[in-house]
Chains A and B, each alone.
Chain A
Amino acid sequence: LMAKASRLALLDSGIPKAKIDGLLVSVHAGETPMHVPATVAEYLGLTPRYAGSCDLGGASAVGMIWRAAAAINAGMASSVLCVLGNTRDASLIGKTSNRNPIREFDVPYGASGANSAYAFLASSHAKKYGTSPEQLAVIAVHERNNGQLNLDSVFYGTNISIEDVLNSPMVSTPIHLLEIVMPCGGAAAVIVSNSSGIGAAKSVPVWIRGAGEFITHRAMSQAPSLTSGPLKFAIADALSKSKLSISEMSLLSFYDCYTIMLGIQLEDSGFVEPGGFGGYVESNNFSHLSHMPINTHGGQLGAGQSDLAGGMGHVIEAVHQLRQTATNRQISDPEFALVTGNGATMSEATAVVLGGQSD
């Protein structure tokens, strides 16, 4: 029904489908509570540059309208589809609350959860570029080393070696247990304010210089590529809006649910060429003293993943570094940080460039 309503709205507007680059949905779309926008986008064959859900109960519909306008005014999208719906089909009611296509077409084959999805990426990257298990494993080692300078890391005080990673239980080939984030408890919060809030601020503010977002699919089987992801476009957009290049960054604060995800971002950001992350991580660590510091708080692989708050950890670390309040792991004279987010199975990509006030 939502698909049919979307089609009618599009026909009424006369805007071609390819011009729809934003998507707002309500909750109750027959999916698990997370990833509703990506699921609806995949169903409709859309790859939005801006997507989200609006949950304000009966006020959601009107709430969506100004959010869509705000996104357009911010330059994040040009045409936003706002769609809500539900079914009263008697044959479906009471049968299942989860009408997610993944539940119907992946789970019966034994493909539940994210591990096998990211394993497909690692298999494809190894096949295409010859990336070795050791090159993936050393990413977990570098991040764990950074976590040793973070008292809040769940792994504080426990270093690991490449052998430890490769000897940890095989989860889904070629991914080992220690290449996957450790779930932990935690919460994170950030305040975003306009310039009128700055006067009252006790701390030095950090400025948002550019942002990008891109959603290409929900299920890994529907991904346009298995060796590169939507972050390529989100990062390029964030850098372009900030008029900066990747080499001008002082910190890469990259979402790292799996070792392969960190590796692919090093390539998608343009920091190394496609297929080049394995060689880079073999000869460079991620420390605050290195040529390019990466996840100086340990990332989520080194510090733990407090569910969705783990993603905010990358933002907070970047703020600390740019304010020069990162104490024992402070990068010297940092200017800009690139922070990324990655959702579902390399499906939902977000990127921001943070730095000092622009001239």
Chain B
Amino acid sequence: VTDIKLPTKTINPESDSFWKSLEDEWPNMQQCQSCEKWQHYPRVICSHCWSLNLIFRPISGLGHVLSLTDVFKPGHPAFSSSTPYRLLIVQLLEGPKVLSRQSGEQPLAIEDQVEAEITSNENGYLLCFRKKQ
């Protein structure tokens, strides 16, 4: 199992700023300058109003758990060595929802308040969430 590599990231020109922001230690996401709504994942166009006027801004990093699951049989074999691990869907304060993974030791439940924590593995940085202190 150990020689199976984790799936590499497929970064594109629109999403580059998001992944770079994790390297710079705080997540940035896209906010539309026309309708002021936030979106994630990054796009060339605002998914709410189709404006092209989008900028990356730091997010609060706060939100709550919409749902979770502990994965015992991963869809990709590279994750088998770390099972079970807890996946989350997090509702961010700014509006977007993100798929993520629990970090930290404190167990999470649906509706728990969470805060962003940047973690890293051999593929680089990931936006994870831990229980809000």
Does chain B have a CB within 8 A of A156?
A: no
Instruction: Name the one of B12, B70, B89 contacting A220, with C-beta atoms under 8 angstroms.
Output: B89
- Contact segment of A109-117, A240-248, A268-276, A279-287: A109-117
B99:A109 contact, CB within 8 angstroms: yes
Does chain A have a CB within 8 A of B55?
A: no
C-alpha gap A124/B111 in the complex (Å): 10
Quick one: CB contact mask for B3-24 with A, threshold 8 Å, 1 for yes? 0001101111101000000000
Q: Tell me if A's interface is mostly helix, strand, loop or mixed.
A: helix
A279-308 contacts to B (CB < 8 Å): none
Q: How large is the interface on B (under 10, 10 to 19, 20 to 34, 35 or more residues)?
A: 35 or more
Does chain B have a CB within 8 A of A19?
A: no
Known A-B contacts A44-B47, A120-B68, A124-B67; A110 and B110 likewise in contact (beta carbons under 8 Å):
no
How far in angstroms is the closest Cβ of chain A from B17? 13
A104:B13 contact, CB within 8 angstroms: no
B126:A109 contact, CB within 8 angstroms: yes
Instruction: Name the one of B9, B47, B75, B99 contacting A43, with C-beta atoms under 8 angstroms.
Output: B47
C-alpha gap A78/B111 in the complex (Å): 39
Inside 8 A of A7's CB, which chain B residues have their CB? 45, 50, 52
Name the residue on B nearest A30 (C-beta).
B12
Name the residue on A nearest B89 (C-beta).
A221
Inside 8 A of B66's CB, which chain A residues have their CB? 120, 124, 226
C-alpha gap A301/B11 in the complex (Å): 37
A105:B99 contact, CB within 8 angstroms: yes
Q: By the criterion of a CB under 8 Å from any partner CB, how many residues of chain A are at the interface?
A: 51
Name the residue on B nearest A91 (C-beta).
B13
Inside 8 A of B85's CB, which chain A residues have their CB? 110
Name the residue on A nearest B99 (C-beta).
A221
A109:B101 contact, CB within 8 angstroms: yes
Name the residue on B nearest A123 (C-beta).
B67
Instruction: Name the one of B41, B43, B49, B82 contacting A3, with C-beta atoms under 8 angstroms.
Output: B43
C-alpha gap A32/B52 in the complex (Å): 26
Does chain B have a CB within 8 A of A170?
A: yes
A123:B69 contact, CB within 8 angstroms: yes
Known A-B contacts A108-B6, A110-B85, A111-B87; A10 and B50 likewise in contact (beta carbons under 8 Å):
yes
Does chain A have a CB within 8 A of B44?
A: yes
Quick one: CB contact mask for B56-75 with A, threshold 8 Å, 1 for yes? 00000000001111111111
Inside 8 A of B47's CB, which chain A residues have their CB? 42-45
C-alpha gap A155/B62 in the complex (Å): 47
Instruction: Name the one of B15, B75, B110 contacting A116, with C-beta atoms under 8 angstroms.
Output: B75
A94-144 contacts to B (CB < 8 Å): 95-96, 98-99, 101, 103-116, 119-124, 127
Quick one: CB contact mask for B115-128 with A, threshold 8 Å, 1 for yes? 00000000100100
Instruction: Name the one of B48, B75, B110 contacting A112, with C-beta atoms under 8 angstroms.
Output: B75
Inside 8 A of A119's CB, which chain B residues have their CB? 69, 71
Instruction: Name the one of A17, A112, A114 contacting B49, with C-beta atoms under 8 angstroms.
Output: A17
Does chain B have a CB within 8 A of A92?
A: yes
Interface centre among B74, B87, B126 (most CB of A within 10 A): B87
A4:B89 contact, CB within 8 angstroms: no
Name the residue on A nearest B82 (C-beta).
A110
Inside 8 A of A111's CB, which chain B residues have their CB? 71, 75, 87, 99
Quick one: CB contact mask for B28-60 with A, threshold 8 Å, 1 for yes? 000000000000010111111110100000000
Inside 8 A of B6's CB, which chain A residues have their CB? 108
Q: Which B residues form the contact surface with A (CB < 8 A)?
A: 6-7, 9-13, 15, 41, 43-50, 52, 66-76, 79, 82, 84-85, 87, 89, 97-101, 110-111, 123, 126
Sorted nearest first, the 5 A-B pairs with minimum C-beta distance are: A113-B75, A112-B75, A45-B47, A119-B69, A221-B99
- Can you spell out 27 A-B residue pairs with CB atoms less than 8 angstroms apart? A3-B50, A4-B52, A6-B50, A7-B52, A17-B50, A43-B45, A44-B45, A89-B13, A92-B12, A103-B7, A104-B12, A106-B99, A108-B6, A108-B126, A110-B85, A112-B79, A113-B76, A120-B67, A123-B68, A127-B67, A127-B110, A169-B72, A172-B72, A172-B87, A220-B99, A221-B99, A222-B97
